[in-house]
Amino acid sequence: MPAIMEQPATPSPAFSSLALDPQILRAVEEAGYTEPTPIQIQAIPQVLSGRDLMAMAQTGTGKTAAFTLPLLQRLLPHANTSASPARHPIRALILAPTRELAIQVGESVEEYAKHVPLQSTVVFGGVDIRTQKPALLKGVEILVATPGRLLDHVESRNVMLNQVQVLILDEADRMLDMGFMPDLKRILTLLPKQRQTLLFSATFSDEIRKLARDFLSNPATVEVARRNAAADTVRQAVVAVSEDDKFDALCGLIRSRDAKQVLVFTRTKLTAARLARRLQRSGIPSSDIHGDRSQQERLKALDAFKDGEIIALVATDVAARGLDIDQLPLVINYELPPNPEDYIHRIGRTGRAGASGEAISLVDRDEERLLKDVEKLLKRDLPRDPAPRVAPSTPRPNKISAPTDDWFSRPYEPTSAVAATKQAEPVPAREAEPKKQVAALLRGGKL
Ligand code: AMP
């Protein structure tokens, strides 16, 4: 299976061979990067040449540096320390689908540009527009924005886009999924025709190809991850568990691994909110991040997570898009996503840039179909792990009963076999499992 961070057979060129200014390379070195990732090796020379680019790369591949480093290099002739806003027109526009991604891209731009006099700022919706105005009026060469908020600023005459030389569409597939096409079209009419356009997308769907035909001119194409690729450094597994036992299994996984940071995925906002509260009550510091929380609450939760104040961050798919948390060791799917491609996005939050990680899915019987879809997309069956043998957080003696169905204790069967036995006849209730659970409770001193 191809890995996102797959290395080419020949030795990677060093960053120093990529024709980047020493001050940009200094920031790269300070970021701790020793060698460029495959997307960086392929994309940086193309961007430096001034060509349009269509790049297929998911979050986690190092794509932000792949477009930001050569972008800084191209803008260097305009770098200056003048205090006059007129000397700092917007020369590069980076569009991102979500606030979280915009913020993270903005942080990366700042980090890579810290030794060159090029200014940048980020604008996104959900916060008071007036707070973003001063930075724009001071002048920035690089603007990172979500499409809707950018148009608000255009209407308020806080930005002029007629000197943009480089347009970057980050996670373009997400932008289309989220219905940003009309906004993108409007933004395009405000930009000079003569410009460089870079499109980054996790997939090359027909819609993306059409977008590229409309917006790009004779683009170079680079591709480092197929849509069904998942980082080899991530250990993926499934724990089959009944819906009633999911919560205890989740606590067990977190405790058995002594996890300090775990990202937990749910399908709905309501489940995310409830689960975070329940984890919190069980002594696992937690917070939730989803569309019903204000921008401020989301940022606060994310900061608390990054700072280690909370252990579990419970998120929905939409809210988690673009989240970049270095070295995230554990991702747990409390519920599988309805769309198998979201599974790839979810597990892409761990095992980044070569770091190892674990992605465990708690799957109940009703999710068997979704699991099969995921395995089909991955082109392999995921190993089944036993449920963690850790005492539940809250003793529930009355609930220690045999599951009504034996799917949970079936020996692991490949997907095709699972499909064939999906409608298996009733199986005898298990004998051994309740005893094991009682033993676990006894060990944990709960009975
Ligand atoms: P991205 O795909 O841009 O979201 O990047 C994913 C992660 O990889 C970020 O945490 C970056 O800091 C990190 N990263 C980017 N380039 C490199 C590199 N050449 N070596 C190691 N880590 C990198």
Distance from C-alpha of 173 to C-alpha of 17, rounded to nearest angstrom = 31
- Residue to substitute in 6, 20, 42, 324 for testing ligand 1 pocket (most ligand atoms within 8 angstroms of CB): 324
Instruction: Give the distance (Å) from ligand 1 centre to CA of residue 277.
Output: 32
The pLDDT of residue 306 is: 85
Residue nearest to atom 12 of ligand 1 (CA): 62
Atom of ligand 1 nearest to the CA of 322: 4
Reported as half-sphere exposure (CB side, CA atoms, 13 A), residue 251 has a value of 20
Instruction: Give the distance (Å) from ligand 1 centre to CA of residue 88.
Output: 28
The pLDDT of residue 378 is: 86
- Residue to substitute in 24, 35, 44, 64 for testing ligand 1 pocket (most ligand atoms within 8 angstroms of CB): 64
Atom of ligand 1 nearest to the CA of 36: 19
Residues within a 6 A CB radius of ligand 1: 33, 36-37, 40, 59-65, 324, 326, 352-353
Atom of ligand 1 nearest to the CA of 31: 12
Instruction: Give the distance (Å) from ligand 1 centre to CA of residue 435.
Output: 47
Distance from C-alpha of 261 to C-alpha of 278, rounded to nearest angstrom = 17
pTM above 0.85, yes or no: no
For the beta sheet containing 120-123, the strands, ordered from the edge strand earlier in sequence to the opposite edge, are 120-123, 142-145, 92-95, 166-169, 196-201, 53-56, 220-223
Angle at Cα 113 formed by Cα 58 and Cα 211, nearest 5°? 35
Instruction: Give the distance (Å) from ligand 1 centre to CA of residue 65.
Output: 7
Is residue 360 within 8 A of residue 257, CB to CB? The reply is: no
Could you identify the residue written with the tokens 């008071």?
128
Question: What amino acid is encoded at 157 in this protein?
Answer: R
The pLDDT of residue 400 is: 34
Is residue 350 within 8 A of residue 377, CB to CB? The reply is: no
The pLDDT of residue 21 is: 96
Buried b vs exposed e over 186-201: b needs ≥16 C-beta within 10 Å?
A: ebeeebeeebbbbbbb
Residue nearest to atom 16 of ligand 1 (CA): 62
Helices (H), 118-169: 133-138, 147-155
Q: What are phi and psi of 127, to 5 degrees?
A: -130, 160
Q: In order of start, what are the domains of the chain with their CATH numbers?
A: 4-223 (3.40.50.300), 234-385 (3.40.50.300)
Closest CA to 385 of 329, 333, 442, 313: 333
Closest CA to 216 of 151, 172, 160, 177: 172
Is residue 204 within 8 A of residue 341, CB to CB? The reply is: no
Is residue 248 within 8 A of residue 278, CB to CB? The reply is: no
Q: What share of the chain is helix, strand, coil (3-state, %, to 5)?
A: 45, 15, 45
Reported as half-sphere exposure (CB side, CA atoms, 13 A), residue 359 has a value of 25
The pLDDT of residue 23 is: 97
Instruction: Give the distance (Å) from ligand 1 centre to CA of residue 60.
Output: 6
Atom of ligand 1 nearest to the CA of 59: 2
Tens-of-pLDDT digits for all 447 residues of the chain? 333 333 333 455 799 999 999 999 999 999 999 889 889 999 999 999 999 999 988 777 899 999 999 999 999 999 999 999 999 999 999 999 988 899 999 999 999 999 999 999 999 998 999 999 999 999 999 999 999 999 999 999 999 999 999 999 999 988 988 889 999 999 999 999 999 999 999 878 888 999 999 999 999 999 885 444 455 667 899 999 999 999 999 999 999 888 889 999 999 999 999 999 999 999 999 999 887 877 778 888 888 988 889 999 999 887 776 565 656 789 999 999 988 888 887 887 675 555 568 899 999 999 999 999 999 988 889 999 988 865 544 444 333 333 333 333 333 333 333 333 233 323 333 323 333 333 333 333 332
Helix (H) and strand (E) counts in the chain: 17, 14
Output DSSP code: residue 12. P
Q: What are phi and psi of 65, to 5 degrees?
A: -70, -30
